[in-house]
Amino acid sequence: MDNTENQSTLDRIKQQIEENPILLYMKGSPKLPSCGFSSQASQALMSCGEPFAYVDILQNPDIRAELPKYANWPTFPQLWVEGELVGGCDIIIEMFQQNELQPLIKETAEKFKEEE
């Protein structure tokens, strides 16, 4: 794999993270997750009641390969909020259980609704 391909994948990742204030990189889709961790993470996010973007890394092997290096986070799912990596499944579930995820997602969604 040469650098140009590599670069465009990173550019896509950066663009996705910039353009989507709430973004979940996962295996499968929220409706049809293909791993338990992605399922739990997307369930928690959906419970927050705000729309969020997702990228199915199984359909995007280049992103699957590059994102862990870019994020410095080895596993999926990955939740990004406002360009910052929040974390993976354990962190998402923990935040959800401690009622920290809901306000974060709601405030972010509100903020970006106002900007539109």
Which residue ranges are tagged as binding site for [2Fe-2S] cluster? 35
Which residues belong to the annotated binding site?
A: 27, 35, 64, 76, 89-90
Which residues belong to the annotated binding site for glutathione?
A: 27, 64, 76, 89-90
User: Which is nearest to 52 in space by CA: 65, 67, 37, 38?
Assistant: 38
- C-alpha dist (Å) from residue 69 to 44, 83, 110: 25, 16, 31
Amino acid letter, 7: Q
